[in-house]
Structure 1
Amino acid sequence: MLYIVPSPIGNLADISFRAVAILKEVDLILAEDTRTSSVLLRHYEIQKPVTPHHQHNEHKIVQHLVEQLLAGKTMAMLTDAGTPGISDPAFLLVRECVKNNIRVECLPGATAFVPALVNSGLPVNRFCFEGFLPLKKGRQTLFKKLAEEERTIVFYESPMRLVKTLEECIVYLGEDRQCCVSRELTKIFEENKRGSLREVCDYFKAKTVKGEIVVVVSGKG
């Protein structure tokens, strides 16, 4: 059995009783960053073996993990924040488990784009989630496609690239498109800046940007 366990995106209280119980029961915890996960595990007094599982080693160890699961071990997958597999490692392992008829169960829980979308004030009945935008190859092509997208657009961005990305959105989508930039969700300095792309871009140009960021932009028309 492989459990996919969402972890809090900021506030350590944002984890379910069931998630804590499963983390205490499994044979092994897979962690994107053992240092980050250790904070959560110590907080809830969870003492289980923890091994790294991230984008740099997942291809090397996936077969070994599958063999352990087939032998009867139970594992839980944790990423630094949010639900594993959503712009984070997990897909490769889940796919191999499915191929090998290993039961996979994903617990409901925290993920950053959902609260950002809901509190943006933009339509939530239809939306597209783009994860992190490509840095180079395919970036211009994607922006051209997003310019014609009628659904609300949601994506993640780093603080270092936020202003540049908002400027590119202005070029391809127009400065009057409504948007909301959510920063540090669930944390002490949570901020949700709403307005036109031009207004929000100018706002962040004038300050130092820090923290995890979700950008929500209205669709065409």
Structure 2
Amino acid sequence: MIKIQENRRPWEIVHMDWVTCLPPGGDKSYNSFLVIVYRFSKTPIFLPFHKDDKAIDTALLIWNGVVSWTGIFTKIISERDPKFTSGLWTKIHQLFETNLSFSTAYHPQPDGLAGRMIQTLEDMVQIFCAYVIELKDCDGFTLYWYTLLSALELAYKTSIHGCTNQTPSILEKGWNPRLPQDSFRKYLVGIHSKASSFKLILE
């Protein structure tokens, strides 16, 4: 087990991994997604992409999908992968002064806790994809597995993590975002209240 330096500020240290060989979805035929996990709060980010994407594609995916609101990472912990070992990707890390930490053949993950956490996220999405490869909403709009990744992110961020006894959102922001079911419960309370009043009138 390799000891990892802890964060000094949000989103300094992240773990990354890929889930590949998923059913192609949508016009862009996404067949994989990148998992990024903030080490401290366990906040996940899912980014759909293509299995054959090049190093520059991965870099742009992270830049456009994550860095704009997290800032530059100081350490990225990942499995050894061509996307990370290429000279171009290494150069990008040098430009942004980011330290890239690789695991070795004898250490499938530098941090066992992070490895289990990422595996949980991967299993969650793969099970989801097995049942919801393609779904149509009430308006006939087709929802593919990658269009519902944000919903899975939200579910994980607002669920209590076994290691911290807090939700990732609480640890990172100090509050949990409103969930769709919160509004639904409020709507049901309103219906129940009106139903009770109507019953009193009838009586």
Q: Under a length normalisation based on structure 2, what TM-score does the superposition of the two structures give?
A: 0.28
Larger radius of gyration: 2
Structure (1/2) with the larger strand percentage: 1
Q: Under a length normalisation based on structure 1, what TM-score does the superposition of the two structures give?
A: 0.26
Greater relative contact order structure (CA < 8 Å, 6+ sep): 1
Structure (1/2) with the larger helix percentage: 2
